[in-house]
Structure 1
Amino acid sequence: MFQSFSETSSPEQGPPRLAALRAEMEAAGLDGFIVPRADAHQGEYVAERDSRLAWLTGFTGSAGFCVALHDTAGVFVDGRYRVQVRAQVADVFTPVDWPEVTLGGWISRNVSPGAVVGFDPWLHTLSQLRELEASTGGIILRRTENLVDGIWKDQPPAPATPAFVQPVDLTGEAHADKIARLAGTLAPAKAAVLTLPDSICWLLNIRGDDVPRTPFVHGFALLHEEGRVTLFVNPDKLVNLGDHLGPNVSVAPVEEFLPSLSRLDGPVQIDPASCPVIVADTLAEAGLEMIEAQDPCALPKACKTAAELDGTRAAHLRDGAAMARFLCWLDQQTPGSFSEIDVVTRLEGERAATNALRDISFDTIAGAGPNGAIVHYRVTEKTNRTVAPGLLLVDSGGQYVDGTTDITRTMAIGAVGDEERRAFTLVLKGMIAISRLRWPKGLAGRDMDALARMALWEHGLDYGHGTGHGVGSYLSVHEGPQRLARTGTVPFLPGMILSNEPGFYREGAFGIRIENLVVVEEAPALPGQTVPEMLRFETLTYVPIDTRLVDRELLTAAERDWLNSYHANVLARIGPLVDGEVSGWLTRVCAPI
């Protein structure tokens, strides 16, 4: 079992740990200290050693930060975590709605002019610091050692798991060719600093186990203009790579990263959105010119090769068959006779039975009734709920060597009310709208996000998260730079994989989300088409949608046609991969409406 159900949040530890942090602040002459969720690599998933926000506050979400002042401590979370944070932190912490309330604005309102607020320059990006400086006039922001590390006496060691090769038949391009191709884009920079683990792993065709759920190797790298890479990593991680890295990749200890920056010839390219402040400080102290540009791996990594897409399609069929077996089992259960933990255990078991599962791609979300309204709910032995009549939301995914999956289905368990059926259908209409979309090349997620919300908006409803995120190829299940959201500014390009997951959440009652993964592809020209280039989505996920929850009167003829066609494709693609009672069940649930 990859997922555990132990309670990782310790709200009762929050007050003494906050008191200890405040003592450290007093000794350091600070009026405040910022504790982010991020590590030095700005990853969504962090190693146990870097789980400072959770250790201090008890909040275990994948995004957020705490600002500890002497008389108050704010825990900043976005719309995904506002229910969760209230359940996880002690009353010495105040939840703050972010980004509606900005970090700088909140600090300025809660300290006096001239106050000194400390931060660890490894854990904040250059962009974050600039935004903070612009909104905290009169406040002194001071670089410090990490004060949490000073009071965390049993802090785990840094991970040192062995890396392994991601073979070229799955990546579609040898890493030597990637290095040469990207090095040719750097001019006038002499080198680019790489700090994101997914960029480094993608570039070098390696994977690892330094963090849960995402096959990352932690390290830093320099991409040089002449077509070579310096990799800064614990050398113990490379024992299984043999001669894979080759002559164009040199290896140095992580401790040499900052000193090596000082010895570079400028100019040096950095991405302010991911570059730690300490990197920019080091380059500036060495008098090196910095060129600010997007991480050179970001777009090439997002636009999957034909081999990566073939692998992803295969992974989704394998995963779809596992989901079908799970859903067939679920339909056989009597409401009230099983729990959320039973759901998670059974689903992971079906994925493991493929003999191809390397990990789950995130902790499975199985929310029954009101727990479904907690967007990133994680069931524990303490919160485990019996699945009674109503809605069950299951958001899950697998990490396979040929692809990463992510799927959400909301199912009827016994009798379901009219409000739930109406909300489900409105969410489905939004998901179908994105699935059917054709658009002129050059548009970004912010241009499309509203289409997923239109049916909900017409009824005064909405959801507090983006409609979709990028997905990697046996890498992070949440990958940039593409996003299907109001904040998505990167134009969609062929080969980009995204999720399509509108939702609706009635706090204290139920949650609904329906999610497929899709990939951007060129759209065939239409008769009389005047737009020179158009794009569309190919669906990757083939798993039945619960038609018991569909209010047919709310669907248009075109939406019904899409749903029936989708289910025909599910039956055609997944049907040959299952047998026995699962085959019969799949035929029934894919029947046209």
Structure 2
Amino acid sequence: MSTYADRLAALRAQLRADGLHGFVVPLTDEHMSEYVGTYAQRLAWLTGFEGSAGSAAVLPEEAAIFVDGRYTLQVRSQVDGAHWSYQSVPETSISEWLKDHAPQGARIGYDPWLHSRDWVKRAREALATRGAQLIAVGQNPIDKIWSDRPEASKARLVTHPDRYAGKTSAEKRADIADWLSSKGADAAVLSALDSIAWAFNVRGADVARTPVALAFALVHADGTADLFIAPEKVDEDVRRHLGNVVRLHDRSEFETALGALSGKTIAVDAERAVAAIFDALEEAGAKIIAVRDPTVLPKALKNAAEIAGHRDAQVRDGAAIARFLKWVEEEAVGGDLDELTASDRLEALRREDLDLRDLSFDSISGAGPNGAIVHYRSSEKTNRKLEAGSLYLIDSGGQYLGGTTDITRTVAIGTPTDEMRDRFTRVLKGHIAVATAIFPRGTRGSQLDSFARRPLWEAGLDYAHGTGHGVGSFLSVHEGPQRISPVGSAQSGGDEPLQPGMILSNEPGYYKTGEYGIRIENLVLVVERPLAGAEKPTLGFETLTFAPIDRRLIVADMLSPQELGWLNNYHAEVRAKIGPELGDAERAWLDQACAPIGAA
């Protein structure tokens, strides 16, 4: 099947053979992951869409692909509109679309290992209004027709040293056991890959750019655990690390193990566990407590060792970024530099650091109009030169042993227009507003989101993504539960109160379709920020990321004295922290790039 049209036709033929009138295709795996291994990239195989969030629905005569505002441009460039209609989330949903488009009495298939229980309930209710049924399939029909589907990764599991984790796996499992006792539960299901990696202090290489291993786990109230993972992935070092209180089983035995929990009270996260897990427990006669995975909040609240590791990783990463920005400034003059060459150069600079294990995601290297595609991924087909008079946006990060980095810088190539400088300065003002925010304990990210947008709103402008996401500790670059995002947005991920120890991105932006994109992103740490006379405990942010912000794009007169003070102080910290990591010529460039801007 050489074309996506052929694949769509083959799926429809398979659905007819299976007695189905439609099928739903999410972009996830059996662990509800955001980033998935190649074996699970069914949506990309079927449609050509390469974004990190999306889903599709196929009917006999219609097919639709659903993405949020981050992918509005990308989906149109990658997915053929002659065969697929483009649907915007959250304005619509698969359930609502099926309610309006599914044939009367239709049988719509879904894979229970790829959907949440709540999604199944909503879809079933929506289809019932048309007399249609939602049918769980035993084998995914895409897998039946994907003849060259890759195998799941066989990469080895590795231990994550306690000096980086800050807490042993035994201590973490003891905390989970105490939590289970407080809930009156016998065991907790851990199905999210980063939860398992964190709880057992292990890392893997089964998902590109995210150091996790394909596994499931049951953690029990007595502190023991069952880990379900392919046996060839575990060597003697890992066995010794886990100890004899962690029983190892083949990953394929997980569903059978769930069926043996009759009469037990089991805690399961409805957001992170697929419907098939709930189905197996219900069939077994277990009592289910639907509650958030007990690792989620402790994982988000970084301990002292994790914070120290992050700070160290950010300095290493900032030095690589400074070297890169200097190189871009010098190389772009000739007009021959392109997106792929630039991102390859940045990766090479990062890989000079022996503590780097991987990138934290595929770099977003967008020149000119490609920078306006929020989650753009450059290819040989789309690769553009960094042309004079344009903007270049580079969003990238690294997976260091001590922490995960994520940074975006937008730089002028040649002389920027007045409009570019105005928009950049508005984005910078929003970035500073978040960076300097002081707020009472209990404040949620949604309450801070408008701080970043106000300077854009004042000019009738906005951006179609959240302002900030949580970040892991040598784990997922997108980590919940904390976010800075409008309530109800596709990226809100809930509305968690911010607490000391949480790490988030601060990344407002502006995107002019067909012309340029702007984003300024640093990572920030939630810290206590006491105020004299405050009636409640107050919090704020410590900026963790250090790299120059392009002074050529800043309209100083648009910044208040306080904003100018923040910018100059920030650049002074950049020089102090990453200057010692650089050579003489690089340090001279850095001094120039971080020179103070005079008061307005």
Q: TM-score, normalised by structure 2?
A: 0.95
Q: Of residues 101, 110, 118 in structure 2, which corresponds to 1:119?
A: 110
Q: Of residues 146, 156, 180 in structure 2, which corresponds to 1:152?
A: 146
- 1:34 corresponds to which residue? 24
Partner SS, residue 512 of structure 1: strand
Cα offset, 1:335, TM superposition: 5.0
Tell me the amino acid that sits aligned with residue 268 of structure 1.
I
Structure 1 unaligned spans of 5+: 1-9
Q: C-alpha offsets along residues 170-210 of structure 1, whole Å, 9 cap, x if unaligned?
A: 00000001001111101311111110000000000000101
- 2:570 corresponds to which residue? 566
Cα offset, 1:527, TM superposition: 2.3
Q: Of residues 538, 541, 544 in structure 2, which corresponds to 1:537?
A: 541
- 1:479 corresponds to which residue? 479
Q: Of residues 24, 32, 40 in structure 1, which corresponds to 2:14?
A: 24
Distance in 1 (CA, whole Å) between partners of 2:135 and 2:531 is 59
Q: C-alpha offsets along residues 326-349 of structure 1, whole Å, 9 cap, x if unaligned?
A: 111111121522111111111111
Distance in 2 (CA, whole Å) between partners of 1:579 and 1:254 is 49
Q: Is the 8 A contact 2:421 2:555 kept in 1?
A: yes
Task: Single out whichever of 131-140 and 79-88 deviates more from structure 2.
Answer: 131-140
Q: Is the 8 A contact 1:335 1:413 kept in 2?
A: no
Task: Single out whichever of 354-363 and 307-316 deviates more from structure 2.
Answer: 354-363
- 1:380 corresponds to which residue? 379
Q: C-alpha offsets along residues 463-506 of structure 1, whole Å, 9 cap, x if unaligned?
A: 00000100000000011111111134111111111000000100
Tell me the amino acid that sits aligned with residue 27 of structure 2.
R
Task: Single out whichever of 156-165 and 326-335 deviates more from structure 2.
Answer: 326-335
Task: Single out whichever of 347-356 and 127-136 deviates more from structure 2.
Answer: 127-136
- 2:228 corresponds to which residue? 232
Q: C-alpha offsets along residues 245-266 of structure 1, whole Å, 9 cap, x if unaligned?
A: 0122111111211111121242
- 2:159 corresponds to which residue? 165
Partner SS, residue 545 of structure 1: coil
Q: Is the 8 A contact 1:176 1:248 kept in 2?
A: no
Answer yes or no: is 1:263 the counterpart of 2:256: no
Answer yes or no: is 1:211 the counterpart of 2:207: yes
Cα offset, 1:112, TM superposition: 2.9
- 1:83 corresponds to which residue? 73
Q: How many residues align?
A: 581
Tell me the amino acid that sits aligned with residue 547 of structure 2.
V
Q: Of residues 569, 587, 592 in structure 1, which corresponds to 2:591?
A: 587
Identity of aligned residues (%): 48
Structure 1 residues 134 and 566: alpha-carbon distance in aligned structure 2, compared to 1, 3 A threshold: farther
Q: Of residues 562, 570, 575 in structure 1, which corresponds to 2:579?
A: 575
Tell me the amino acid that sits aligned with residue 136 of structure 2.
R
Distance in 2 (CA, whole Å) between partners of 1:396 and 1:457 is 27
- 1:449 corresponds to which residue? 449
- 2:216 corresponds to which residue? 220
Answer yes or no: is 1:515 the counterpart of 2:521: yes
Partner SS, residue 290 of structure 1: strand
Distance in 2 (CA, whole Å) between partners of 1:251 and 1:65 is 34
Q: Of residues 235, 251, 256 in structure 2, which corresponds to 1:254?
A: 251
Cα offset, 1:526, TM superposition: 2.3
Task: Single out whichever of 579-588 and 89-98 deviates more from structure 2.
Answer: 89-98
Q: Is the 8 A contact 2:56 2:94 kept in 1?
A: no
Q: Is the 8 A contact 1:191 1:223 kept in 2?
A: yes
Distance in 2 (CA, whole Å) between partners of 1:346 and 1:453 is 33
Task: Single out whichever of 376-385 and 192-201 deviates more from structure 2.
Answer: 376-385
- 1:439 corresponds to which residue? 439
Q: C-alpha offsets along residues 99-123 of structure 1, whole Å, 9 cap, x if unaligned?
A: 2112111111112332211000000
Q: Is the 8 A contact 1:412 1:548 kept in 2?
A: yes
- 2:186 corresponds to which residue? 190
Cα offset, 1:133, TM superposition: 3.0
Tell me the amino acid that sits aligned with residue 548 of structure 1.
R
Cα offset, 1:136, TM superposition: 3.4
Partner SS, residue 240 of structure 2: coil
- 2:507 corresponds to which residue? 501
CA-atom RMSD in angstroms = 1.2
Q: After TM superposition, where is structure 1 displaced by more than 6 Å over at least 4 residues in a row?
A: none
Distance in 2 (CA, whole Å) between partners of 1:466 and 1:116 is 36
Cα offset, 1:312, TM superposition: 0.6
Cα offset, 1:426, TM superposition: 0.5
- 1:528 corresponds to which residue? 533
- 1:143 corresponds to which residue? 136
Q: How does 1:40-59 map to 2 (within 5 A)?
A: 40-59=30-49
Answer yes or no: is 1:94 the counterpart of 2:89: no
Tell me the amino acid that sits aligned with residue 106 of structure 2.
A
Q: Is the 8 A contact 2:409 2:519 kept in 1?
A: yes
Tell me the amino acid that sits aligned with residue 430 of structure 1.
G
Cα offset, 1:559, TM superposition: 0.6
Cα offset, 1:219, TM superposition: 0.6
Q: TM-score, normalised by structure 1?
A: 0.96
Answer yes or no: is 1:351 the counterpart of 2:350: yes
Cα offset, 1:355, TM superposition: 2.4
Cα offset, 1:79, TM superposition: 0.7
Answer yes or no: is 1:314 the counterpart of 2:304: no
Task: Single out whichever of 242-251 and 541-550 deviates more from structure 2.
Answer: 242-251
Tell me the amino acid that sits aligned with residue 150 of structure 1.
K
Task: Single out whichever of 286-295 and 512-521 deviates more from structure 2.
Answer: 286-295
- 2:462 corresponds to which residue? 462
Distance in 1 (CA, whole Å) between partners of 2:374 and 2:278 is 36
